[in-house]
Structure 1
């Protein structure tokens, strides 16, 4: 009997440290918000994959002292404002300390209002509408550029590189797309480019024949598409070519996605678009490419920005030695390093700067073509 009691006591002594370690083990929770279903799911999945990659790299480099693992909770916004609010509330309930997202500005803006109620840091890799950071939310950051930088760059490109005198503009009435289209219209007017039309389609439309027929009759030098994602833009491009539209097609950063060319096929050849400059020759980009491509395939639009956003968040948490938002923000503001997509250095309002250039699609590749300072690249 004594041996049995001693055996039980001994087992208890062995189990105590194990149980204590289990209880004391800590998990760092971060989340993402992006469209994982619906027409923009490819871009949203790129964001999720970029964050996953950053977490993997960070953990392999030793993680964050005091935490045994980093747990990631990707949430689907479907680019719907109401679903974005629900996603943000779910992340708060899960206890995340930071969020990467969202994709559509129309999701990021209401979602960030929810997160702001609990002072949760949010870094968007894709939402370019100026209101994202101009509202003055204390813990709102942006890794990508701004529409009020993209629009003037696009207008300058069309004026200087394409010698445009007239333009026909179409958008889909979303916060991002219409905001950018309005900016392009204003910037074109300022440069003396005549607006021959600014029309709107609806999200979910698949037949653009009415708008395209109108554009063909106006015969502007430029047909400017500002749509929420690559899929409707690819369909519009295909239909424009079939209809015999002669205007030069110019579009925006939402089309910087390999699948745009897969859907539009040869109709995409010769299309121009604006997107932030990323140098693929840097050691940081090449290291990311070696990890990302074997698992997820070709690097797409916002995977690099999402990676940089998650990395910045994790760097700040590690440097702060805390998950308190004020301390995380303080460390984010100190960051100054070469990321994968760009140099990471935040301004006082949470922006990290814009670097828009124009690309031309040549042989199904996005080829750098023009930049604002010196003009033609090739």
Structure 2
């Protein structure tokens, strides 16, 4: 396995920081040369792609991942004699309507031998069949819909647990740890949000007192807030992304539904500072989110230090998972697996320690090791709360 290179030199860190600015899609984001440096085993222009939101309402999550991927690529390229790899962006804007075109661009680029992503479940449902038909391996650091692994796509892998793990854990956390017995469940009608919320509903059983559905992009939740009040709920679970989650939370608190009365819990799609921005720091205080992701500050090796040096900020949601997904692809390239077919076979048999977990997949592309954590908004930041027992 490729070692984690510590980029301690100020010049290297500064170069990475400058390269990180403004990488919102459309241009190569690799800081290394595209030309090979390992002779015949390294085709000129060999590339991996990042497929996810680099612009759009949920771009924070995609940028977090892309930064982790870029760090892995830059560290790989900095190694002596390394085959120089270019990182190419495929900006879906987190919109499954954009996914088909982006997937076709990726498979049509013969230099691209592997993909980190797709990042979101909705876009994965559209893009993954296209990647599978072309034999282009994709490793998602963040798409959690369980059904994605049930389609027979031999190119599908993910480095985190799915919502069949997160959903029951969230329900257990709400009713067990938090002691809530009247839970109002809302979803944003997306492939991801509704899928997760439905699992939570099932596992809550009689504690699920009322259900509702909103739309992605909706901004007025007054009717939902009134219904939450009328239901007598002592907790709300929202399945969806941070933009809508934050606005719903703000309008709940503005309507007088305090944290003491109705605890707010959401998911990994809301685990972003955008939740606090949308809700306001006061309204967001005390809210919880669950995530099948490792707290970034617990990543192994020098990852946290390297990431902070490169970008001037600590790693955020799925940065470390993005790094791990990219590392698998880069390890394969370093091992001479520079065709799509060879790299796919390499990924399927991969079994090495990453910064988040042991990286190994079953025959459906699911990781061998999973965990779910709760996080809480404290002092205007989302901080790790506890690992939820399975």
TM range, smaller chain = 0.7 to 0.9
- Provide, for residues 299-321 of structure 1, a one-character-per-residue CA deviation record: whole Å limited to 9, x for no partner: 221221111111111112323x2
- What count of residue pairs does the alignment treat as equivalent? 344
The residue that corresponds to 1:18 in the other structure is none
Asked if 1:136 corresponds to 2:148, the answer is no
- Provide, for residues 99-122 of structure 1, a one-character-per-residue CA deviation record: whole Å limited to 9, x for no partner: 111222110121111111110000
The residue that corresponds to 1:220 in the other structure is 233
The residue that corresponds to 1:54 in the other structure is 72
Asked if 1:251 corresponds to 2:266, the answer is yes
- Provide, for residues 133-173 of structure 1, a one-character-per-residue CA deviation record: whole Å limited to 9, x for no partner: 12121111011220111010011111211112111011110
The residue that corresponds to 2:61 in the other structure is 43
- Change in Cα spacing, 1:257 to 1:62, as seen in structure 2 (3 Å) is farther
Q: TM-score, normalised by structure 1?
A: 0.85
Aligned-pair Cα RMSD in Å: 2.2
Point out the more displaced range, 302-311 or 121-130. Answer: 302-311
Q: Distance in 2 between matches of 1:57 and 1:263?
A: 35
Query: Which runs of structure 2 are paired with 1:197-236 in the superposition (5 Å)?
Result: 197-227=210-240, 229-236=241-248
1:337 deviates by 3.1
Conserved 8 A contact 2:337-2:346: no
Q: Distance in 2 between matches of 1:283 and 1:263?
A: 28
Point out the more displaced range, 232-241 or 340-349. Answer: 340-349
The residue that corresponds to 2:106 in the other structure is 91
- Provide, for residues 154-212 of structure 1, a one-character-per-residue CA deviation record: whole Å limited to 9, x for no partner: 111112111121110111100000000000000111xxx43221101111111111111
Conserved 8 A contact 1:157-1:370: no
Asked if 1:103 corresponds to 2:102, the answer is no
Q: Secondary structure at the match of 1:366?
A: strand
The residue that corresponds to 1:10 in the other structure is none
- Change in Cα spacing, 1:201 to 1:140, as seen in structure 2 (3 Å) is same
Identify which of 333, 340, 356 aligns with 2:348. Answer: 333
1:272 deviates by 1.4
The residue that corresponds to 2:92 in the other structure is 77
1:248 deviates by 0.9
Q: Secondary structure at the match of 1:231?
A: helix
Asked if 1:32 corresponds to 2:47, the answer is no
1:80 deviates by 2.1
Q: Secondary structure at the match of 1:27?
A: coil
Conserved 8 A contact 1:258-1:300: no
Q: Secondary structure at the match of 1:284?
A: coil
1:63 deviates by 6.1
The residue that corresponds to 2:338 in the other structure is 323
Query: Which runs of structure 2 are paired with 1:142-157 in the superposition (5 Å)?
Result: 142-157=158-173
Which stretches in structure 2 are left out of the alignment for 5+ residues?
1-38
1:364 deviates by 2.6
1:281 deviates by 6.0
Q: Distance in 1 between matches of 2:298 and 2:189?
A: 37
Q: Secondary structure at the match of 2:46?
A: strand
- Change in Cα spacing, 1:158 to 1:112, as seen in structure 2 (3 Å) is same
Query: Which runs of structure 2 are paired with 1:110-129 in the superposition (5 Å)?
Result: 110-129=126-145
- Change in Cα spacing, 1:142 to 1:54, as seen in structure 2 (3 Å) is same
Asked if 1:237 corresponds to 2:249, the answer is yes
The residue that corresponds to 1:284 in the other structure is 300
Q: TM-score, normalised by structure 2?
A: 0.82
Larger radius of gyration, structure 1 or 2?
1
Asked if 1:294 corresponds to 2:309, the answer is yes
Identify which of 349, 356, 365 aligns with 1:350. Answer: 365
1:279 deviates by 5.5
